[in-house]
Amino acid sequence: MKIVEVGPRDGLQNETARIPTEVKIAYIDALSGTGVGEIEASAFVSPRWVPQLDDAAAVFAGIARRKGIVYSALVPNERGLARAVEARVDKVALFTAVSETFNRKNINTSLAGSLKRFAPVVAGAHRERLPVRGYVSTAFWCAFEGRIAPEAVLRVVDGLMDMGVDEVSISDTIGKAAPDEVRRLLELLLPRLPAARIAMHFHDTYGRGVANVLAAWSCGIGTFDASAGGLGGCPYAPGASGNVATEDVVAALDERGAEVGVDLEKLSRASGLLAPYLVDTRRSMPDADAHAC
Ligand code: HMG
Ligand code: MG
């Protein structure tokens, strides 16, 4: 069982307040002691697109690397890979989406264009002996295109695998998936790809993040992305709220006897370091009225 803590990247990319670099570093260092296996520490994307993470190199230079923890980062292109290698990342995470509209808005290219862009990045990362994750965004729903067909997700996964990606992270970008949809997709995916190469990445917009984690876990998945305190969201996915909270995932899996090995007290202390800097950025969902209370 592995938790990939994505708060420092998915969480902070969506914050309106400027978080000082030294606070990010303290936050990541505190997360390193909680028992999570991997921390997505920042993103080497264009600072024009995501200014919140324009200090990725300084963050990587400042953290105290704890043995056994994998410190990864998002990389969108070869330029990002060069920056990531220089910063001594342990793992590279590429990202594309099933939805063409979301890809245009998020990475300014088509799905085919993104795969073409990734091929030299995967080869370059492997030359550096860095493992590569491939995010498959909008794997269930898209804010612009609605429901996504599972068969289309499989085609994207195949494209990433053909290129040599080591792991995929199947992502519910706008947090709208339901447990049945998760099970259905995994029933199709698991015969093609072992569970050890699949991570699940749930956002919690509709409050189904934990139920979705448990559905995936019951199918044999053991790697879950989550963010301490439920921070997160994508600036290019309107209505999407934070990732499923690491605390909730750990508590739910612990209760069911899974050996997660994450210390909730330490996690809460790590989240607490950010609290003074966070602005409440919750935006209304496309059909938020149905959920208002
Ligand atoms: P573009 O504008 O088409 O590309 O962006 P460009 O090559 O014309 O570059 C624009 C500017 O950025 C240029 O600078 C480049 O040099 C620079 P200028 O000449 O204008 O001064 N640039 C870079 N700078 C630093 N590092 C780089 C880099 N690349 C270009 N790597 C691009 C294309 C892909 C770069 C852009 O669209 C981008 O960076 N997008 C990232 C958006 C993003 O980070 N979104 C959030 C993460 S995805 C997510 O949250 C989903 C996920 O959580 C899973 C899920 O929940 O679904 C992963
Ligand atoms: Mg995300």
**71 neighbors 65 (Cβ within 8 angstroms):** yes
Residue nearest ligand 1's atom 53 by CA:
10
Residue nearest ligand 1's atom 49 by CA:
234
Q: What angle do CA 50, 25, 74 make, to 5 degrees?
A: 40
Neighbours of 241 (CB within 10 A): 22
Is-above-0.90 flag for pTM? yes
pLDDT digits (tens, 9 = 90+) for 32-83: 999 999 999 999 999 999 999 999 999 999 999 999 999 999 999 999 999 9
Residues lining ion ligand 2 (Cβ < 5 A) are 10
pLDDT digits (tens, 9 = 90+) for 231-270: 987 788 887 889 999 999 999 999 999 989 999 999 999 9
Residue nearest ligand 1's atom 37 by CA:
107
Q: What ipTM does this complex have? A: 0.99
At 280, the pLDDT band (50, 70, 90 cuts) reads low
What is the phi-psi region of residue 230: left when phi exceeds 0, alpha when psi lies from -120 to 50, beta otherwise? left
Q: Which residues contact 222 (CB under 8 A, 6 or more apart)?
A: 1, 2, 195, 196
Ligand 1 in reach of 10 Cβ (< 6 A): yes
Choosing from 142, 219, 234, 293, the catalytic residue is 234
234 is a catalytic site residue: yes
Amino acid identity at 52: Q
